Amino acid sequence: MGSLANASVTTLAAPSEPGAAQDSVLRYLGFHAEYLTVFTRTQHFLMRGDGPLAFDMRYYVAIMAAGRHRCDWLVDQLKEEFLANGGEPRWLDGLQHVPKKLADLNEVNKIMAHRPWLLNKSHIERLAKGRDNWSLGELLQALTVLAHYHAVCSFVRGCHALGVDQPDSTEPSDASTPSGAKEPQQCAGSPSDGAPVQQLMQKMRTLSEQQLRAADQLTVEEKNEIYAAVDSGAVEAEQPSQQPAPDQLARFVEDAEFAYEDFSRRGEPHTVSTFRVQDYNWEDHGFSLVNRLYSDVGVLLDDKFRIAFHLTYQTMGSFRSVDTRLFRRAVWRYIQCLYGIRHDDYDYAVVNQLLDRRLKSFVKTACVYPERLEPSNERLKHVMEGFQRSEKVHVAILCLEARLQSELLYALRAVMRYTT
């Protein structure tokens, strides 16, 4: 996993973006200097760089995104930025006071935040045609801002719920790998006795020795059964809060009851086709479309996806010289499975072998119900036992990026279908 990179947040602060909400993001990301750099560069480009959307519009779109997940601290920060960039104060009284162009985006925001597989070309057509229409460039930027801030809500709420804020004096301050190490070695001053992590490493070792079953050796029926068993509604997310959304958030949210539903439910027929990445994926399709309609952001997003997915210091808990690829890939694939995205060349049996039920429940809640995560929840204290704080942050980064990519894939596919 990714361990403490000995990075200083103060030396890598995002340009011109002060505030408590932004400080929280930077503080957590300070564990991973390389990722922090590309994250701040991407967010700065989205919100302050060249682009077709006016700055006040960008920040209002971000407010709409954060409002869906009840992130009051983030909404407050974005409201300050909105006003500082010439935003109309009356817009902050609620969606009924904004121009029709912005109000029309609300339906897409709602769908992307909770059930992105429902997004289709008709949603894009309604925004891109007629009076008060969005240009495709404006729309691409707005869709990217929506997905980005949905995912940021997942990241910060996930870190907070896992107790990343709590100091851990036993965490190693250097994530370098011992040279010439052949077997995993335990660090001095380990955060726990390492037993849960050691069990996980043994599972990964066994899977590696089996060289994993090749997907082409399985029948179509076997592939479908394995994929369906990864979630199928069987993993329960944390329960929702009974508290209604405060008025300062509710004014930015319409149809507040609309929420995530399991993409596939055990014993029920599929109403929406599974999204297969061999038909539409980021590398071959999404990247080029983004770069064509919203220049340069595709390169930034691509760097961010790549760094998050491959990030490792070869540590896991108190052990070093660990190949964590199987675990990282299992987390990413599970998240995309929650959104109905399937990789036919991946053996989904690995997900259930490497991710225990508590971790799957946390990941699911962080990605699709981040507003439900509360740090006081006793169950969350046992998630990722034996892992370092920095490794918990890395899992939250995977939640951020895999969710972001999932939302963008559905949005970009809908745009592509509209334009062809």
Which residues are catalytically annotated? 71
Residue 118's CB is within 10 A of a number of other CB atoms, namely: 15
Tokens 């990179």, located at residue: 5
The span from the CA of 227 to the CA of 221, in Å, is 10
The span from the CA of 280 to the CA of 340, in Å, is 13
The span from the CA of 142 to the CA of 130, in Å, is 18
Residues 324 and 197: beta-carbon distance below 8 Å: no
The span from the CA of 348 to the CA of 351, in Å, is 5
Give the residues across from 27 on adjacent strands.
none
DSSP codes joined into one string, 45-89: HHHHSS-SS-HHHHHHHHHHHHHHTT-HHHHHHHHHHHHHTT--G
Residue 122 tokens, joined = 């008709």
**Which residues contact residue 59 at a Cβ distance below 8 angstroms, ignoring those fewer than 6 apart?**
47, 78, 79, 81, 82, 85, 87
The span from the CA of 19 to the CA of 66, in Å, is 16
Residue type, 90: R
The span from the CA of 83 to the CA of 91, in Å, is 10
Residue type, 126: R
**Cα–Cα–Cα angle for 412, 413, 417, nearest 5°?**
115
Residues 227 and 348: beta-carbon distance below 8 Å: yes
The span from the CA of 67 to the CA of 147, in Å, is 13
The span from the CA of 394 to the CA of 34, in Å, is 12
